[in-house]
Structure 1
Amino acid sequence: MQRIERRVGTQISEVPLNETPAVFSRWTRHLKVRLGHLFIQKGFILLIIGFLLGRALILAKLIPFALPFFVSVYTLRREKAGLAFIALVAGALTISFESSFFVFVAMFSFLLLHQVGRKFWGDLLKIAPFVVFCLSFSTKLAVVYLWNGPPTTYESVMALIEAGLSFVLTLIFLQSIPLLAAQKYKHTLRAEEIVSLVILLASMLTGTIGWEVSQLSLEHILSRYLVLLFAFVAGTTIGSTVGVVTGLILSLANIDNLYQMSLLAFAGLLGGLLKEGKKIGASLGLLVATLLIGLYGSGKTEALPTIVESCLASILFLLTPRTWTETVAKYIPGTIEYANEQQQYMRKIRDVTAQRVSQFSLVFQALANSFSTERFLGEEQEEREIDYFLGDVTEKTCQTCFKKEQCWAQQFDKTYEYMKQMMLEADAGTLLQNHSLLREWNRYCAKGKKVIATMEKEVANYQANKKLRRQIRESRKLVAEQLLGVSQVMEDFAQEIQREQENHYLQEEQIFHALQEFGIEIGHVDIYSLEKGNVDIEMSIPYCEGRGECEKLIAPMLSDILDETIVVKREECSAYPNGYCRVAFGSTKAFVVETGVAFAAKGGGFVSGDSYSLIELGTGKYAIAISDGMGNGERAYYESNETLKLLQKILQTGIDETIAIKSINSILSLRTTDEVFSTLDLAMIDLQNGSTKFLKIGSSPSFIKRGNHVIKVESSNLPIGIIKEAEFEIVNEQLKSGDLLIMMSDGIFEGPLVENHEAWMKRKIKELKTTDPQAVADVIMEEVIRASSGRIEDDMTIVVAKIKHNTPKWATIPAYMYTKKAQ
């Protein structure tokens, strides 16, 4: 294997040839970091900028760049102002002593004025342009007076123009210098910042005027390179803007460069248009612009040097590393690099958010585990409680007994077993009825009756303590289950956040062309998900004047394309005839639920103690709930309505329904000491497969009518809120298409004046001639009132739900010219 040697410090190590790119990559990265630290952090880039701006002139006489640059650096990075001062004076010395003297005096006057007036200025950033204007004008007149005597009107006007330019340049440099002199993480350049940066770079190029190599002007090469770079990175708009601004500033510096503005602007336009051809395409745009405009505007200059300058700029551009162009593109909105950078930033924010949510989930899980102490309370804990009880009994009886040594030292096991058995009998309330045990104990113990009396007395305290400890364990268990439910929801949410957003560019284009081939005009297509059963597509289509093209044409075509039923989820029509409508398409569920409701208050009143709720959850489930507050009137209505509100809010968070019910039970039991409770009848229907969970807490039975058969659904659970901890029985049933689910409060079930309410209700349901949910609810309500002799003795509520297959309204339309299953 060939090897190359490298020297690191004083050691020599061998590197395999196939590792050479990685080594050079590390060197390049290290060099980049060092140069960035040297020029950006240390501020040596200000030396280069200051030197070029110090020798930059306008109309070969005016020096409007030096003082604004120094004041801007002093305002923004005061610790680097010394470097800027030296660089500006050095650059001005290359022009003339008079120019350097003016620059020196202007900057020194600013420092002196700032030391004197900083107590009165306040924020220098706000008044810096005005200070520069006054100093530039006064210093220019003073220098002219020292050199040539009293200034003429022409010299005064030129001084005023130079001060005005300095005023404007100060505003520009205050925006552009931070972009070059400080690193900003994830900084996006606004349009005005881009223009300010270009003006600063063009002003630097004016400092290269007069630098020539073999009659080739350096400012021409660099200005064209600058235009090529921005045109390739940002496109035609930025490219032509950079060309105009750069050409304008160069033409102000030297009137012979006036034609450069047209050349650079046209080069930026062509370079941006041909950027799809990569760097060669952008370079070709510069050469074409040079041939079309450079030859026309050359004037005295020969055509060949202009073409050579453009060729050199193109070569310099072609040699520019790709990482440089990508780095510049990351800061300009609209570029692919900028979009990728933003996407990467958003991905990082998403991952950090998901990590924080996951950490919170772990915290809740740890809290749940800390509350789950019931598993540690087994036989050992029970034995310890028995020992404490027997210890209290013996302390009051055996301590003064003369047979203490014989019972507890010589016959400990026998004594302990007798007392333990009596304690268990006393706890069960059967000690006094167990005569054989009492006779044996009295023969064994000298103070048998006293021990039994003491044990009967102490067992009440033991039972109270035992009940209290059990309640504490049950409360801890409930809190643990609630915390565990919250933890699971947060973990699911964290996983949902981390789910990568898929790009569906190909599928969007295929659907777009398929619809166009069919003759449907489409504005654009956005696909958010193509997951089976969870399709999410948005489109913009022209206003169809209410003809229903989305529902009748587009949705059926998408159904054929994606091999599943697609429907219109929502539609936002255009506000004007020639506009576009925003339409969202999504997967339909396998089943749909139609409901009907009938209710009446006791005695025909206005306020019923019953409440019902129909909740369509985002998880593809449909919840039907009826709550009956104990009693009648407003208080009962408040209790039942509050129960359903809590249920709806908790279910919509995604927490399991069992934990939701237990949470509501805990809240209601702790909220009030009044004996006002609520029943709850909940049915959770899965719209994908029809499976249904019934949680019936103190409620009446429900019935399922399937053809001529009636199925009863019931469970034995206490009303919600009676006890703080309860195990709720869940009944599972599989609903089929065409089934009628009939849920009712006790006012309906127990309302008829009949002996067997269940048989009567089944018979009435079986005799139904209609399957319309609302008609069924009305018929049963009417039958119950008739069977009650026309009286309403209790609040009555009945909810009827019909389960049926979700049959699309419109048939599938074959999508021609398209390969199915765009996935």
Structure 2
Amino acid sequence: MAKEKVAAQVPEGQAPPISNRRVDLENWLAALLPGMRAVARQAVFFVVGLLCARGVVFGKYAPFGVAAVAAMPYHSMWSTVLGCAVGYLLPSQVSVPVHYIAAILAAAAIRWTMNDLVRVRQHPVFAPMTAFLPMLCTGMALAFVNGSTPSGTAMYVAESLLAGGAAYFFAHAGTALGSRRGASGLSGQEIACTLLSLGILLLAFADLTIGSISLGHIAAVLGILFAARYGGVAGGGIAGIAAGTLFSLGTTGLNYVSGAYALGGLMAGVFSPVGRLASAAAFVVANGVASLQVGNQAAVISGLYEVMAASVLYIALPKGMGSKLVGLFSSGDDHSRSDGLRRSVIMKLDYAAKALGGVSESVEEVSRKLGAACAPDINGVYKKAIDEVCMGCGLKIYCWERNYGDSMNAFNDLTARLRTRGRIDRTDFSPHFATHCSRLNDMVECVNRNYEAFTVRQAAEGRIAQVRNMVANQFTTTSRMLEDMASEMELFERFDFAAAQQVSEVLRAAGVTPIEVSCRVDQFNRMSIEIEAMQVERMRLNRGAVVKEISRACGRLFETPCISTAQGKCRVQMSERPVYRVQTGCYQHVCGDGQLCGDSYACFNDGSGRQVAIISDGMGSGGRAAVDGAMASGIFSQLVKAGIGFDTALKIVNSALVVKSGDESLATIDVAVLDLFSGCVELRKAGAPVTILRQDGQAKRIDAPSLPVGILNDAHFAKADAVLRDGDLVVLLSDGALAAGDDWLCETVEQWQGLSPQDLAEELVAEAVARRSDGHDDDVTVLVLRMTTPQPIPKDEDEEKAG
């Protein structure tokens, strides 16, 4: 009705409005599009049939056209037949083209006749037999009519077998590529069939030459290099064997290409992690080594020219060209195997954690029993002194047989004096014992000497007991570390091997050679990437450019990576761009305007979508406090960046401070962990003061009493949680900021209306110093975190960034 009204409003003799003509054109194109697609599909299969018919082996045999007719989809069979017929009728090295035309017509007739027999035509041997039987029958008829020799008859049988094998490859490749599983879902067998099918199509260009240089050989070498680049050793090896086998059959006098291409593909795959230039050079060298066995110098030189031309093209082509081949070599079977491997690793980590926990309990139990049995006793001091002094005394019977009780009481009374003064003299013995002992001076000297040795041994035993406890705690800490790893792996549902290969290619293009790349997808379909490289590669890593290219390659937007180094290795971890961002500001006041601050802080993204902020306050001020605070925050930050859990990292820091030196080392640790996907904040405190949160414009104190690290053999976080929204603040403080109380802090944070957290941090530090009225000074550190929601990226720009 609407169209009729519009038409009625158009005056007679005038053209319809442009908008109406545009709608009609769009409707006409929409109606024409399905037909155009169908024609294009038939044209593709016509070309496939033409190329298969032009592939020649053994100098004059062309069985692959018949294989194409037997294996291509039924809806495109007649286009394939027509293409094969044209290919066989065109001038070529084939001596009797009628033989092949009869075979393709026979194969088409067999398929047409049995198309309704679903179980028969879907059997794996149907396509090979449909190609083999017509080829064999027409070949035998030709041999009978022409009176062929036994060797000629054998060649007809051989080409029939090749036709059957090629039909098997075509059928499996077509089924795999038409299954919509994607290239990454193909099995190893399907990949091999696909590569062999592509090699048969390239065989048609083997005789297309410029001088003595074969364009088909150049295309085959180029394909092998791309397969090695994106498939590694397996891709290069499979592609080299497939292309080498086919071209050695199709080229008289160049049989060495079978081994040369296979070896070249293998070497190109081995050197693919180093870069394109190294991979191409490895192929050239391997091909040259394999060609040394050939006596035909002209053929070898032509082959080397072909390889070098393909290598130059490979290096000159754009870096991202062929990146879709990544999925072809990421076998679908690997996904199920990777899930099984993930479950196996989780179970092993969990069991190892429980076993180490059992070892810790055993060590602690044995330590307690040995401590009770072997601890030094002050009675041993008296016993040793009595044995040394009284052994040869004539009054021994009187003192230790008749008056044993009085004599022992005299020694027991010495215990309090020894512990108080550390030594005794003659007057400390009871008068009764002193008047009867003829060797009192020797006894006093012996008791003092043995007590001094006892105190040294007692101190050593105490230290040994502390070390035993530390060892037991280390087993417990290692157990917790393994449990953290198992819990982390439990969150990931699968590993994306195709994305990992693309990330590797991006890094190599940026001049960074990765050792290992892992792309993991969690239960919320969020991807995280972990990269390991040598430490020297960190200097070459342009964070912004690499993140941009990785985002484009993976089709996801990633956050700036977290980079850490350890033992000569560089670890790069990044996650997808989260919902929130964090603005940070930090300011410090050094006690007495000195050079060293006892407070240490760190703020970083851990690469898993969390922003971590840490303040550590060393005991006291000055150099020693600076060492303790820097040591605590530095070790803790490094462990968290390495993926170790917060509780486990705290225990390791505590152990490090305890054993650092004989002197007492104390430090507080205050941690805020902001989940940038959910907005949750976790506050973890070990001896740290209050934290100020401003939520929805209201400021409140968060206090969680706990002990600093470095005091006891065990350490624990006190924890508190909250949920933040856009504009909310987290203010971490060292105890120097609280000398004048915290009421003014809450009031200042609540009333602050600025946008830069750095301004608030500076204001709070200046106010804390000014408000202090006790005549003392202390280090002051304030770290402010502001949660923000980034402005939405326009759709077109977002799609462009994601690639």
If the length of structure 2 is used for normalisation, what is the TM-score?
A: 0.45
| Bigger Rg, structure 1 or 2 | 1
Give the TM-score taking structure 1 as reference length.
0.44
